[in-house]
């Protein structure tokens, strides 16, 4: 039986602490409680926790002190901050230090439980950033395939079998950026017969159609204008090893026929030549297009398709194998930290949460590029949300962002996201949205809203009037003096 996730609640108000603890125990979580900062630090130093819920205002220690100590002991520990409306700025500062999220009092237990569930999943997957590089990755020569997911473990199993069997043709299928080239390299390296010989890669769309045949098969002197001397093609260059034909779905039909003849008898002639040449190599072909549809449309030869498809290797998109995101991110972080001589070694839980919920249309290639930039822009050991340079998961602009929640909800909306990440938006709409949300967070307190936004009380009131944002009437209850 697996161990229950362990949660520490640090809260001096007994009623709040008890109600949160009971709610979490009902969700089968192991809960410990601390009413003071010193008690919290003592528990953190003695035990391992999967999550901490921390009130910023405690009778003995400042919550920020506890947060920093907790992250010293466990850098990837998710910490959820509890705060009153009047100290939202402090909660934002806590998130900049490395807290996972915050909730304003009073809060909904159901809302808090949902955030905790998500944070615990991030905590579980975050361990793959460390352990995944040792236990959830396989190395074939100089190529590492991260295989935390069942789908990628199946791919690795197939790579090993193909390496042992020395199959003559392999078809690798997957969306752009899924790692088809890396799998082709791994198949080459997994075969003792091939690994000491060349791995030659050619992208069929990168060479003009008029030159592609000559590049693949070579040419004899005088075969065409400017052919002043004989030249071996890539097939000859790859003799003994592997020829990787990327984007084969876009190969011209005329050349498809010549490739098929070569695959059938392993003999070919150079362009303009009369002598048959023999080679011994493996053909690994890859494409991100639907070859069956291409065959039906007459854009790809059916006989070549079935000749290549003897052993297909299908690589799922990254969004379909979320378990691989954390170990891949950790793998890239370590690689680029070495390359750039940077100290980055920790991905904050909040940053990992952004990675896990990004749709990754560019697949592994996009994740690699994001981590390269993150390591380059990071200032220390920690990769933060701001380092990722990814838009908030819910939005590509202001209009798509959910409005700030009413008191009792999460609050913050776009304001919270933009304090933690960088997103391109319409400036006027952004200004209006930020002023509105800051006033909602502070219950109409212009002074508090101004502190959040870096504006004076009068500047906030002016913008509220400018955008038609209603303020509480004089004498109405507010969160503090105005």
| Second CATH level (architecture) for the domain 321-388 | Orthogonal Bundle (1.10)
Contact 309, 343 (CB under 8 A): no
Scanning 271-324, the segments in alpha helix (DSSP H) are 291-296, 302-308
- pLDDT average per 10 residues of sequence, the chain (482 residues): 84 93 93 95 94 93 93 90 74 83 87 90 71 66 89 94 89 95 95 92 87 86 70 91 95 92 89 84 95 95 94 94 90 91 87 89 94 89 84 36 34 48 55 82 81 80 84 55 42
Answer whether 6-107 and 150-314 agree in fold.
yes
| Second CATH level (architecture) for the domain 398-467 | Orthogonal Bundle (1.10)
Task: State pLDDT tens for residues 392-445.
Answer: 443 333 332 333 333 333 444 445 544 444 444 456 777 788 888 888 877 788
Residue by residue, DSSP assigns 366-434 as HHHHHHHHHHHH--SSEE-HHHH----TT-SSGGGSPPPPPTTS---HHHHHHHHS-----HHHHHHHH
Contact 299, 253 (CB under 8 A): yes
Contact 367, 332 (CB under 8 A): yes
Task: State pLDDT tens for residues 241-268.
Answer: 999 999 999 999 989 999 999 999 888 8
How do the domains of the chain map onto residue ranges?
Answer: 6-107, 150-314, 321-388, 398-467
Triad 312, 314, 317: Cα angle to 5°: 165
Query: 114 Cβ partners below 8 Å, 6+ apart?
Result: none
| Second CATH level (architecture) for the domain 6-107 | 3-Layer(aba) Sandwich (3.40)
List Cα–Cα distances, 21 to 84, 163, 298, in angstroms. Answer: 19, 53, 64
Which listed CATH number (3.90.1170.50, 3.40.190.10, 3.40.50.740, 3.40.50.300) goes with 150-314?
Answer: 3.40.50.300
- Tell me the pLDDT of the chain averaged across its residues: 83
- Among 17, 5, 7, 26, which Cα is nearest to 82's? 17
């Amino acid at each position: 039986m697996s161990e229950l996730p362990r949660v520490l609640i640090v809260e001096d108000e007994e009623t709040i602490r008890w109600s949160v603890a009971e709610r979490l125990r009902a969700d089968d979580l192991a809960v410990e409680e601390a009413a003071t900062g010193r008690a919290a630090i003592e528990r953190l130093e003695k035990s391992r926790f999967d999550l901490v819920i921390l009130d910023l205002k405690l009778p003995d220690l400042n919550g920020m002190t506890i947060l920093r100590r907790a992250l010293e002991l466990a850098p990837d520990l998710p910490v959820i901050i509890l705060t009153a409306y009047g100290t939202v700025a402090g909660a934002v500062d806590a998130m900049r230090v490395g807290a996972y999220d915050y909730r304003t009092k009073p809060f909904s237990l159901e809302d808090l439980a949902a955030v905790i569930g998500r944070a615990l999943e991030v905590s579980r997957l975050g361990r793959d950033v460390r352990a995944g590089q040792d236990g959830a990755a396989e190395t074939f020569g100089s190529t590492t395939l991260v295989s935390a997911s069942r789908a990628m473990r199946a791919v690795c199993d197939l790579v090993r079998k193909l390496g042992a069997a020395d199959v003559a043709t392999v078809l690798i299928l997957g969306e752009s950026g899924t790692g088809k080239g890396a799998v082709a390299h791994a198949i080459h390296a997994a075969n003792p017969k091939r690994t000491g010989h060349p791995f030659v890669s050619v992208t069929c769309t990168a060479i003009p159609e008029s030159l592609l045949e000559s590049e693949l098969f070579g040419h004899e002197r005088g075969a065409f204008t400017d052919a002043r001397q004989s030249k071996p093609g890539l097939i000859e260059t790859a003799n003994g090893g592997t020829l990787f034909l990327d984007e084969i779905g876009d190969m011209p039909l005329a050349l498809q026929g010549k490739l098929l003849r070569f695959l059938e008898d392993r003999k070919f002639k150079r362009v303009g030549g009369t002598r048959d040449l023999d080679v011994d190599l493996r053909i690994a072909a890859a494409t991100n297009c639907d070859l069956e549809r291409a065959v039906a449309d007459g854009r790809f030869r059916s006989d070549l398709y079935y000749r290549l498809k003897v052993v297909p290797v299908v690589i799922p998109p990254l969004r379909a194998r979320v378990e691989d995101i954390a170990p891949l991110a950790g793998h890239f972080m370590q690689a680029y930290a070495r390359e750039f001589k940077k100290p980055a070694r920790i991905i904050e839980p909040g940053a990992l949460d952004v990675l896990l919920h990004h749709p990754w249309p560019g697949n592994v290639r996009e994740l690699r590029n994001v981590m390269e930039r993150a390591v380059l822009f990071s200032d220390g050991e920690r990769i933060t949300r701001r380092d990722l340079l990814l838009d908030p998961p819910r939005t590509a602009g202001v209009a798509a962002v959910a409005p700030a929640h009413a008191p009792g909800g999460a609050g913050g909306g776009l304001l919270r996201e933009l304090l933690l990440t960088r997103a391109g938006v319409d400036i006027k709409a952004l200004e209006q949205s930020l002023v509105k949300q800051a006033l909602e967070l502070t219950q109409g307190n212009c002074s508090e809203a101004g502190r959040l936004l870096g504006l004076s009380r009068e500047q906030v009131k002016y913008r509220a009037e400018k955008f038609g944002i209603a303020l509480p009437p004089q004498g109405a209850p507010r969160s503090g003096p105005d």
